[in-house]
Each structure stands twice: as C-alpha cells, then as structure tokens.
Amino acid sequence: QVQLVESGGGLVQPGGSLRLSCAASGSIFSVNAMGWYRQAPGKLRDLVAALAGGDIATYTDSVKGRFTISRDSGKNTVDLQMDSLKPEDTAVYFCHIRALRPGSARYSDYWGQGTQVTVSQ
C-alpha cells in the first residue's frame, strides 16, 4: 500500500509563513504527479499547487506569488512553502500523489490525512 504522511501545519498570524511537507512511502514504481489541495469548512476540496509532466508547476490564482511547491523525486517528497499567509488560506491541506505501483497497469491517486493550517491574529 502507499501511505502519505504530512507535517508542518499549525497556527500563524497573517503575513506569516509555514512550510508543509509530505512523504510518500510504500511500494511505488513511479510518480507522475504530486501536489497539495485544501478544504475549508463548508467548501469543496480544491487544488492549491501541483507538479506534473516533467515538474511543471500549477498554482491556483489566489496563491500565485506567495506559495512555492517543490519535490524531491528520489525521496518521493513534496513540500509547500507558504508565505504572506492570509486568513482566507485557513483550511485543511491534503497531500496528493498519482503513483504507479509495481505490477500495476495504471496510475492511482493517493491522499494524506490532512493537516490544519489556521491563519489568524
């Protein structure tokens, strides 16, 4: 099985920074996408940032210029550096990967358990 473990969430004041980290473990042959999503209370889970297709980064408009996604392919880890945080960034953040397991014919999606990020005075 594939497991994702997230760390780095917490409480921060507006304008502050946090760094989220996610490590994937288990039987993984290949990863073709890694990213972060978030879900605020009463809202759907939305893409925040992702790396795919040769490490091409995609960001939702509201975080462009403030968040930076990076990965270590050799370790199957993905980080999200979040700067200039705003109260509207408050949400549960979920790590995501699309991975191919040995012996499998297709890629599958895997999710972390989520980590809370709260931006407040």
For the stretch 9-23, pLDDT in tens is 999 999 999 999 999
> Could you give the CA distance from residue 101 to residue 118 in angstroms, rounded to a whole number?
34
Q: Cβ-count burial of 52 within 10 angstroms (0-12 exposed, 13-18 middle, 19+ buried)?
A: middle
> Could you give the CA distance from residue 89 to residue 84 in angstroms, rounded to a whole number?
10
For position 55, what pLDDT does the model report?
A: 80
For position 74, what pLDDT does the model report?
A: 83
Ranges of residues in the chain with a pLDDT under 70 are none
